[in-house]
């Protein structure tokens, strides 16, 4: 199948930002996640939990104080002595509950006056602690107010009388977040100990109409503070300082016990943060506020499978490019020849020209960007580095001619009339004739770059595109979707290829469809046209189109090399999917040349080592 | 909603005015109504602050009570027996109020019901020791008068009333000054309203409160089968609240009220309200469906055991209609009978295990049985308790009295069972068990039937299993020659035969060994156990240490360092207990001449252990180094170039 030298890179010092807030929308089944660095991500829970959008609207976290004008100006809310840390509206909009330090106030919206002030007990495990901060409140339609506080309590209050109804002590540390299901029959809270507790409204005895809130299930999927929780109809969602987004389906709500009922833990972004200059063997790493350029090392040695080869030259850190201002980097790209670097923030587009003289490297910024190049969602250089393709956030695709140190705007494909969706994935053919662009839902458009017109649109598919690439020579477009389907579409013929039809007819192996990270990169072997190389966070795969497809009875992943099996058996069990799970978590993998691969890994332990220490917990009753 | 936080509202009348009738809530208008100075009616709502400024109506006659229930307008009952609806009264406050009851007749108590959506008012009057009941029907405006006959006990005074209603009758319950509760059934639909009718009362519960108490007595019906009684159960005892099951004549629960009460008791929305000292005490209480299992064993002291089952329960095998007052011998026979019967019932119940509330029923049954055990020292349903413990659903915290009683009775078999089954025995109790296990005489042990599961018959196997290399294994590579403690070595060498003899024969009888093994298996925390261990007499400490040392030697006889048997103590348990005993009693043991040999042996044992562990440490360090080397091979650092072949 093939033997490769693999540059195994672990110096991409990427640490995801902690999750600050999650919000779930029931109508669209989408989840918005905000991180401490100010980015907002949108996950489509229907599309296999795929991260559809990343917004970096502003590099700072802004605190918005929303005060309905009417209340503010017509009648002042009674003045509160201390800060308000949490708010919750009664579903009917007549009352607001506000959590402060040491107490909860219930306001009547009409009169603007606090009708109740409910004092929260400061006691913590019998010891009077510091102030008790009410981190979260939830107002139910029956008038119950649920509060969570820094003393580890979950308390139920009657807002009509202002009295405490029930109190649960659930943690030795702060309870920081609460979210109630739409039906108000279940809610979830998250603690600073990394625990998530599920509470449910259950009948006191079987077939009794009287119901009470009962703490039902604890989950420990986090090592750090659970800063935020959300409650979808079928799952509990939590996120916090440890940067993982955890989606825990509620088994009793899941109708079919299939793979969708499995726990999802999303740690890495579903997009590429790395680009590669094959010719100069360079890697460009994208961070929130800077770019790093590294040159890979080399070896002259050879070896057999599994060997680590002695380095004749180690990898070099060539460049550290900091952005100006507080804005986060949205996307970045290095050209194949390594002479161009482009990146974009929310309001500015930057293009740099790089010059290499022996070991020295000089950087020159191309100034005077045209005003339409302001905010790009995706940047791509053509293979010969003469053209730059930019997908703007307005939906337009710009083609820019690069020559020497200057550039010239050639054309802009305007979005289809009636659509406003911006393209977030680009692919260009190696001959530079074809450009494919995909948004999150509107299908893939293929443009003819020579004639500067839309060539065709790939038939729409239900699930968003996670990666795509155009094969050299054949100009077949390979598209991976979030439901793990892979299609091959012939651009010249404007139809799916025979191989793609066969695959669809036979179906993918069930284990292939059950992977829970999307394919983020596709590439091709220059000498082996039948091979497609692709990877997700936990595996790297070469699909050999000349071999038969595996069915559900065949072993999809076989890590062991054939030893003394006869050739017949070997031929019978050989199938198209050659998978390696050696490198993980795998953020990027590409072919440098026909015998060399580069793999960028980011071990979880390295990320954890850079997080603040979690709350210390006593163990074994010591 | 019961809150322990604050009153939700508070209003007061002007100085000089006296509230003469409890305030009620008009559920239809959400207003409150109170009467002060007998004739002045006040009506207000939550928003009102000053009672002096709210609606006021002065009536022409004195009010006894205002009665309000959900779903209908409040009624005003005048002291002379007349009744008016609130609306009609407010329309003309000065209207003339007729007199219904005779002179010197005084209203004692009243209650308002809704029967088939029609309001029914009942009030009781008293005149010269005679009691009368008046039932006013509002749909037909009929007032019926009944004379209550007190039966044999003509002199008794009725202290308190309560009533519940079912389809045809109002069941009026009265607590008399003789301490008994009587029931009178009053028909809701009178047969002949014109005629003055008489009603007899029947004894419902005997001697629920002491006959001598004069104040603080009250009762209230909770549901068809349960009543709550406030008062002192015995003449000298403190006042308490008791809930009785009248169907089975059993005491459901009781709570002492040491600060005294004032004879006021209400039941509303599954909460009992009462005055306790200077505060209003609220006790949530929900009546469970009355069943025999729930009532089992909940008989109070003084009640004769035969009558705690009413004839309507068919399974019960007790002869019915037992008279009162047994002789002592007969009583003990009765107790035995009762224990037998309980055992039979428990066995029946356990046989159909699959009830959903199995846990609760078992818990309630044990609590009930123990309550009775405490009250009646001769009552001890041992077999029954053993069976219940073996259901695996009990724990110490569920029935702390169980072990306490077993300790008093020195029932080592039951204690052993508890130690094996309960996960949460406090250290003090474990230690109390240990004391009994060590001190109980061998002869009394012979009679017991303790589980011998954890004990292996050591005497038989001693010689077969005795191995030549015993010392070598014991010391695990540690050579005695290196031992710097030459003294003890010498001493040990002097009497090698003695030592062997001492170490190979078990110092305690097998039954005691089984009991001690139960202690070794129990969970504990050192901090809490140590202080209790200090109370054990020195000779018992020595005996236990000898036994532990013996177990240790047995352990070290085989290479896996385990004892034979089904569930033997582990080496760790043995070592921990040796350390604990020595920590707690070191000075005492050191001073005892007979413990000297044991101490020397133990010292040697510790020495050999230390050397074993130091050897283990060395091995561990070497392994760690090997692991590090291995890791370095696997860990390629931040960057490497590798060869990958895909097949």
Residues of A in contact with B3 (CB under 8 A): 158, 161, 163-164
Sheet holding A274-277, edge to edge: A274-277, A282-286, A290-295, A316-322
For the stretch B76-119, pLDDT in tens is 999 988 888 888 888 888 888 888 888 888 898 898 888 777 88
Q: List the structure tokens of A453.
A: 């017109």
The tokens describing B406, both together, are: 């077993």
Q: Which region among A479-483, A538-542, B223-227, B431-435 has the lowest average model confidence (pLDDT)? A: B223-227
Which residues 525-564 in chain B show a CB within 8 A of chain A?
A: 525
Q: Are A548 and A520 in contact (CB under 8 A)?
A: no
Least confident of A35-39, A67-71, A218-222, B156-160: A67-71
**Which ranges of B250-327 would DSSP assign to H, the alpha helix?**
292-295
Residue labelled with tokens 């099951």:
B245
Nearest to A305 among B4, B5, B643 (CB): B643
Q: How confident is the model at residue A292 (pLDDT cuts 50, 70, 90)?
A: very high
Give DSSP secondary structure letters for A403-424.
ETTEEEEEEEEPPPTT--PPP-
Strands B142-149 and B197-200: parallel
Supply the pLDDT for residue A569: 59
Using pLDDT thresholds of 50, 70 and 90, give the confidence band for residue B472.
Answer: very low
Cis status of the peptide bond prior to A585, with omega within 30 of 0: yes
Bridge partners for A406 per DSSP: A403
The Cα A527–Cα A547 span in angstroms is 17
Give the length of chain B. Answer: 647
Half-sphere exposure of B135 (CA within 13 A, CB side): 32
Q: Do A580 and B646 touch (CB under 8 A)?
A: yes
pLDDT at B327 over 50: no
In the 8-state DSSP scheme, what is residue B53?
G
- C-alpha closest to that of B217 among B279, B249, B185, B173: B173
pLDDT of residue A419: 66
Mean pLDDT along residues B182-207: 75
ipTM for this model: 0.82
The SS3 of residue B29 is coil
From the list A276, A302, A279, A284, the residue with the least C-alpha distance to A343 is A284
**Model confidence over A174-210: pLDDT tens digits?**
999 999 999 999 999 999 989 999 999 988 877 778 8
Q: What per-residue confidence (pLDDT) applies to A79?
A: 63
- B199, B163 in Cβ contact below 8 A? no
Give Cβ neighbours of residue B275 (< 8 Å, ≥ 6 apart).
Answer: B261, B262, B264, B281
Mean pLDDT of chain B: 77
Q: Which of A23-27, A111-115, A215-219, B426-430 is predicted with the least confidence, judged by mean pLDDT?
A: A111-115
- B218 backbone φψ class: left, alpha, beta (φ>0; ψ -120 to 50): beta
Q: How far is A284 from chain B (nearest CA, A)?
A: 15
Q: With helix as H, strand as E and coil as C, how does A180-245 read? A: ECCCCCEEEEEECCCEEEEEEEEECCCCCCCEEEEEEEEEECCCCCEEEEEECCCEEEEEECCCCE
For residues A77 and A359, which has the higher predicted lDDT (pLDDT)? A359
Q: CA triplet B564, B567, B571: central angle to 5 degrees?
A: 65
Sheet holding B226-231, edge to edge: B218-221, B226-231, B240-245, B250-256
User: In the predicted model, what is the mean pLDDT of residues B286-294?
Assistant: 68
Q: Which of A1, A5, A8 should be substituted to probe chain B, the one whose Cβ sees the most B Cβ atoms within 10 Å?
A: A8
Computed over every residue of chain A, the mean pLDDT equals: 85
Comparing CB atoms, the residue among B5, B639, B645 nearest residue A10 is B639
Q: How many CB atoms lie within 10 A of CB B190?
A: 18
Least confident of A560-569, A606-615, B200-209, B250-259: A560-569
Residue A578: which of B637, B640, B647 has the nearest Cβ?
A: B647
Which residue in this structure is represented by tokens 């970096």? A56
User: Which of B6, B525, B636 faces A308 most closely, judged by CB atoms?
Assistant: B636
Mean pLDDT: which of A106-110, A122-126, B311-315 is highest?
A: A106-110
What's the gap in Å between the CA of A550 and the closest CA on chain B?
14
Closest residue in B to A120 (Cα–Cα): B5
Which residue among A10, A163, A558 places its CB closest to the CB of B1? A163
**Which of A65-74, A242-251, B70-79, B405-414 shows the lowest mean pLDDT across its residues?**
A65-74
pLDDT tier at B299, thresholds 50, 70, 90? very low
More confident residue, A405 or A292: A292
Identify from A115, A143, A161, A562 which residue to disrupt to test chain B contact, counting B C-beta atoms within 10 A and taking the largest count.
A161
Window from A499-508, B213-222, B454-463 with minimum mean pLDDT: B454-463
CB contact (8 A) between residue A1 and residue B646? yes
Per-residue model confidence as pLDDT tens digits over B264-276: 888 887 888 888 8
Query: 0.90 exceeded by the pTM?
Result: no
Query: DSSP assignment, residue A251?
Result: G
The answer to whether B6 faces chain A, any CB pair under 8 Å, is yes
Give the residue among A108, A90, A110, A88 at the shortest CA–CA distance from A98.
A88
Chain-chain contact of B1 with A304 (C-beta, under 8 angstroms): no
Which residue from A minimizes the CA distance to B3? A163
Stretch A226-236: mean pLDDT:
92
Centroid of chain to Cα A298: 33
In angstroms, rounded to a whole number, what is the distance separating the alpha carbons of residues B421 and B426? 13
Which residues of B fall within a CB distance of 8 Å from A303? 643
* pLDDT greater than 60 at residue B330: no
How many beta-carbon pairs under 8 angstroms link A with B?
Answer: 94
pLDDT of residue B482: 43
Residues of B in contact with A307 (CB under 8 A): 642-643
> Using CA atoms, how far apart are residues B374 and B365, in angstroms rounded to an integer?
14
With pLDDT > 70 as the criterion, what percentage of chain A qualifies?
88
Q: Report d(CA B462, CA A142) in Å as an integer.
A: 74
Contact B645 A297 (CB under 8 A): no
B647 vs A5: CB contact, 8 Å cut-off? no
pLDDT, position B155: 67
Query: Looking at the complex, does the CB of residue B289 fall below 8 Å from at least one CB of chain A?
Result: no
The stretch A64-84 carries a mean pLDDT of 54
Angle between helices B510-521 and B412-421 (to 10 degrees): 30
Mean pLDDT of A583-587: 90
| pLDDT, average across residues B169-196 | 78
**Would the pLDDT of B306 be above 50?**
no
Find all residues with CB under 8 Å of B26, minimum gap 6, and list them: B32, B33, B43, B68, B73, B74, B86
Per 3-state DSSP, what percentage of chain A is helix, strand, and coil (rounded to 5)?
A: 5, 45, 50
pLDDT of residue B465: 40
B632 vs A contacts (CB less than 8 Å): none
Q: Per the CB < 8 Å rule, is B639 touching A7?
A: yes
Structure tokens at A12: 């991409």
Which stretches within B534-641 are classed as H helix?
Answer: 538-555, 571-591, 596-634
- Return the residue of A nearest to B633 by Cα: A308
Lowest mean pLDDT among A528-542, B1-15, B59-73: B1-15
Question: pLDDT tens across A374-384, in order?
Answer: 888 899 999 99
B4, B639, B644 member nearest A4 (Cβ): B644
pLDDT of residue A80: 61
**Is B644's Cβ below 8 Å from some Cβ in A?**
yes
pLDDT bracket for residue B147 (50, 70, 90) = confident
Q: What is the pLDDT of residue A530?
A: 92
Interface test with B, best of A1, A9, A10, A298 (most B CBs within 10 A): A10
pLDDT digits 0-9 by tens, A298-339: 999 888 888 888 889 999 999 999 988 888 898 999 999 999
> Among A88-92, A123-127, A386-390, B379-383, whose mean pLDDT is lowest?
A123-127
Helical H segments across B496-570, by residue range: 496-504, 510-521, 526-533, 538-555
The pLDDT, as a whole number, for residue B316 is 34
pLDDT at A56: 54
Collect all residues of chain A within an 8 Å Cβ-Cβ radius of residue B638: 9-11, 315
What pLDDT is attached to residue A222? Answer: 92
**Which residues in B lie closer than 8 A to residue A304 (C-beta atoms)?**
643, 645
Predicted confidence band at B459 (pLDDT cuts at 50, 70, 90)? Answer: low
User: Quick one: average pLDDT of B54-63?
Assistant: 89
A58 pLDDT band, cuts 50/70/90, is: very low
Q: For B1, name the nearest residue in chain A, comparing CA atoms only.
A: A165
- A426: tokens are 């680009």
Mean pLDDT check: name the lowest of B9-18, B284-293, B482-491, B503-512.
Answer: B482-491
Nearest residue of A to residue B526 by CA position?
A622
Give the gap in angstroms from C-alpha A511 to the nearest C-alpha of chain B: 19
For B570-575, the CB contacts below 8 A with 24+ separation are B573/B520, B573/B521, B574/B520, B574/B548, B575/B609
- Cross-chain residue pair B639–A1, CB shorter than 8 Å: no
Q: Are the Cβ atoms of A582 and B644 closer than 8 angstroms?
A: yes
Q: Cα A424 to the chain's mean position, in Å?
A: 14
What six digits make up the tokens of A69? 């004008």
Contact A289, A328 (CB under 8 A): yes
In 3D space, the residue among A174, A155, A152 whose CA is nearest the CA of residue A163 turns out to be A155
Instruction: Give me the pLDDT at residue A359, please.
Output: 76
Interface contact flag, B642 A1, Cβ < 8 Å: no
Q: Is the pLDDT of residue B1 over 80?
A: no
Q: Do A597 and B644 touch (CB under 8 A)?
A: yes
CB-closest option in A164, A299, A305 to B641: A299
Instruction: Return the residue in B358, B637, B643 with the most chain A beta carbons within 10 A, the one to mutate for interface testing.
Output: B643
Averaged pLDDT for residues B394-401 = 86
Of B455, B417, B453, give the one whose Cα is nearest residue B433.
B417
Nearest partner of B521 among B442, B430, B609, judged by Cα: B430
Highest mean pLDDT among A43-47, A67-71, A149-153, B364-368: A149-153
């Amino acid at each position: 199948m093939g033997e490769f030298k693999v540059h195994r890179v672990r110096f991409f010092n990427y640490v995801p930002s902690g999750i600050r807030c999650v919000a779930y929308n029931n109508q669209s089944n989408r989840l918005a996640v905000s991180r401490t660095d100010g980015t907002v991500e949108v996950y489509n829970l229907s599309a296999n939990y795929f991260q559809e959008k990343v917004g970096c609207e502003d590099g700072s976290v802004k605190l918005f104080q929303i005060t309905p004008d009417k209340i503010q100006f017509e009648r002042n809310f009674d003045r509160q002595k201390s800060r308000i840390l949490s708010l919750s509206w009664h579903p009917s909009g007549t009352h607001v509950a506000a959590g402060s330090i040491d107490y909860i106030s219930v306001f009547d919206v009409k009169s603007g006056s606090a009708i109740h002030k409910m004092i929260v007990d400061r006691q913590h495990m019998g010891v009077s602690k510091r102030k008790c901060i009410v981190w979260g409140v939830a107002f139910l339609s029956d008038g119950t107010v649920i509060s969570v506080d820094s003393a580890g309590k979950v308390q139920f209050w009657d807002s009509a009388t202002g009295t405490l109804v029930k109190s649960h002590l659930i943690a030795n540390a702060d309870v920081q977040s609460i979210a109630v299901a739409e039906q108000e029959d279940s809610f979830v809270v998250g603690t600073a100990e990394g625990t998530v507790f599920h509470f449910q409204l259950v009948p006191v005895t079987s077939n009794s109409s009287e119901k009470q809130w009962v703490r039902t299930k604890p989950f420990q999927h986090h090592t750090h503070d659970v800063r935020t929780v959300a409650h979808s109809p079928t799952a509990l969602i939590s996120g916090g300082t440890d940067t993982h987004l955890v989606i825990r389906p509620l088994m009793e709500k899941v109708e079919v016990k299939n793979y969708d009922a499995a726990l999802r833990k999303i740690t890495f972004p579903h997009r590429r943060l790395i680009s590669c200059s094959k010719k100069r063997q360079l890697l460009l790493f994208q961070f929130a506020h800077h770019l790093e350029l590294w040159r890979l090392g080399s070896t002259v040695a050879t070896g057999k499978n599994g060997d680590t080869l002695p380095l004749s030259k180690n990898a070099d850190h060539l460049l550290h490019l900091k952005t100006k201002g507080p804005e986060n980097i949205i996307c970045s790209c290095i050209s194949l020849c390594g002479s161009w670097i482009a990146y974009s923030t929310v309001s500015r587009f930057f293009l740099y020209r790089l010059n290499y003289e022996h070991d020295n490297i000089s950087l020159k910024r191309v100034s005077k960007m045209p005003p339409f190049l302001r905010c790009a969602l995706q940047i791509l250089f053509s293979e010969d580095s003469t053209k730059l393709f930019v997908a703007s956030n307005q939906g337009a695709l710009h083609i820019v001619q690069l020559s020497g140190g200057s550039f010239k705007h050639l054309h802009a494909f305007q979005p289809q009339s009636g659509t406003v969706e911006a393209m977030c994935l680009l692919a260009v053919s190696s001959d530079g004739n074809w450009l494919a662009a995909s948004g999150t839902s509107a299908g893939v458009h293929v443009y003819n770059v020579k004639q500067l017109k839309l060539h065709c649109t790939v038939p729409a598919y239900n699930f968003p595109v996670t990666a795509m690439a155009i094969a050299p020579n054949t100009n077949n477009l390979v598209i991976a979707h979030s439901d793990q389907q892979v299609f091959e579409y012939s651009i010249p013929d404007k139809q799916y290829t025979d191989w793609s039809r066969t695959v669809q007819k036979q179906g993918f192996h069930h284990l292939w469809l059950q992977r829970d990270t999307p394919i983020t990169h596709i590439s091709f072997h220059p000498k082996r046209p039948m091979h497609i190389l692709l990877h997700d966070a936990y595996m790297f795969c070469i699909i050999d189109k000349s071999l038969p497809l595996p069915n559900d009875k065949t072993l999809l992943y076989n890590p062991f090399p054939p030893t003394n099996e006869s050739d017949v058996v070997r031929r019978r069990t050989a199938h198209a999917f050659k998978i390696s799970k050696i490198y993980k978590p795998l953020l990027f993998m590409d072919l440098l040349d026909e015998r060399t691969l580069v793999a960028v890994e980011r071990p979880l332990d390295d990320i954890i080592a850079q997080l603040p220490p979690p709350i210390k917990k006593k163990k074994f009753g010591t | 909603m019961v809150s322990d936080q604050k009153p939700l509202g508070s209003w007061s009348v002007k100085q000089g005015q006296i509230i003469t009738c409890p305030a009620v809530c008009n559920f239809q208008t959400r207003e409150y109504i109170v009467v002060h100075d007998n004739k002045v009616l006040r009506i207000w709502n939550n928003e009102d602050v000053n009672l002096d400024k709210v609606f006021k109506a002065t009536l022409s006659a004195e009010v006894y009570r205002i009665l309000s229930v959900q779903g209908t307008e409040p009624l005003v009952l005048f002291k002379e027996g007349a009744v008016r609806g609130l609306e009609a009264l407010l329309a003309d406050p000065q209207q003339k109020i007729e007199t219904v009851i005779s002179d010197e007749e005084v209203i004692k108590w009243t209650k308002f019901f809704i029967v088939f959506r029609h309001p029914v008012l009942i009030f009781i009057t008293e005149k010269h020791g005679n009691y009368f009941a008046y039932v006013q029907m509002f749909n037909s405006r009929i007032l019926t008068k009944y004379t209550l006959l007190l039966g044999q006990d003509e002199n008794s005074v009725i202290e308190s009333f309560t009533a519940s209603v079912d389809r045809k009758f109002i069941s009026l319950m009265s607590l008399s000054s003789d301490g008994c509760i009587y029931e009178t059934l009053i028909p809701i639909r009178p047969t002949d309203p014109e005629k003055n009718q008489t009603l007899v009362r029947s004894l419902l519960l005997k001697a629920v409160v002491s006959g001598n108490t004069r104040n603080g007595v009250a009762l209230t019906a909770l549901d068809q089968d349960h009543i709550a009684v406030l008062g002192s159960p015995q003449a000298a005892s403190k006042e308490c609240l008791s809930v009785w099951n009248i169907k089975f004549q059993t005491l459901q629960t009781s709570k002492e009220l040491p600060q005294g009460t004032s004879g006021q008791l209400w039941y509303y929305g599954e909460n009992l309200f009462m005055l306790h000292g200077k505060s209003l005490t609220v006790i949530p209480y929900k009546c469970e469906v009355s069943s025999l299992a729930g009532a089992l064993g909940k008989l109070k002291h003084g009640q004769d055991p035969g009558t705690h089952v009413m004839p309507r329960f068919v399974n019960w095998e007790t002869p019915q209609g037992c008279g009162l007052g047994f002789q002592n011998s007969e009583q003990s026979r009765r107790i035995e009978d009762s224990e037998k019967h309980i055992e039979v019932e428990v066995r029946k119940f356990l046989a159909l295990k699959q009830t959903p509330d199995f846990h609760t029923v078992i818990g309630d049954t044990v609590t009930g049985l123990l309550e009775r055990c405490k009250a009646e020292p001769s009552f001890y349903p041992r077999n029954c308790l053993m069976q219940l413990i073996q259901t695996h659903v009990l724990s110490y915290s569920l029935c702390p009295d169980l072990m306490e009683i077993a300790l008093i009775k020195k029932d080592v078999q039951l204690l052993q069972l508890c130690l094996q089954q309960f996960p949460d025995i406090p250290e003090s109790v474990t230690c109390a068990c240990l004391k009994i296990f060590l001190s109980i005489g061998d002869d009394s042990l012979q009679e017991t039937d303790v589980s011998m599961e954890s004990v292996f018959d050591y005497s038989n196997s001693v010689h077969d299993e005795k191995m030549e290399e015993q010392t070598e294994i014991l010391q695990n590579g540690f050579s005695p020659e290196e031992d710097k403690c030459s003294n003890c070595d010498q001493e040990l060498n002097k009497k090698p035969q003695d030592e062997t003899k001492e170490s190979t024969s078990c110092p305690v009888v097998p039954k005691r060994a089984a009991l001690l093994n139960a202690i070794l298996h129990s969970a504990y925390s050192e901090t809490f156990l140590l202080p209790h261990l200090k109370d054990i007499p020195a000779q018992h400490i020595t005996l236990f240490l000898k036994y532990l040392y013996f177990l240790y030697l047995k352990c070290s006889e085989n290479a896996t360092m385990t004892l034979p048997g089904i569930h033997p103590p582990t080496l760790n348990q043995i070592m921990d207990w040796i350390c604990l005993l020595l920590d707690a009693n070191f000075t005492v043991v050191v001073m005892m001449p007979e413990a000297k040999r044991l101490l020397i042996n133990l010292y040697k044992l510790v020495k050999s252990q230390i050397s074993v562990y130091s050897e283990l440490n060395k091995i561990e360090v070497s392994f760690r180094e090997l692991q590090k080397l291995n890791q370095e091979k696997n860990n390629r650092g931040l960057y490497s170039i590798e060869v990958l072949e895909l097949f």
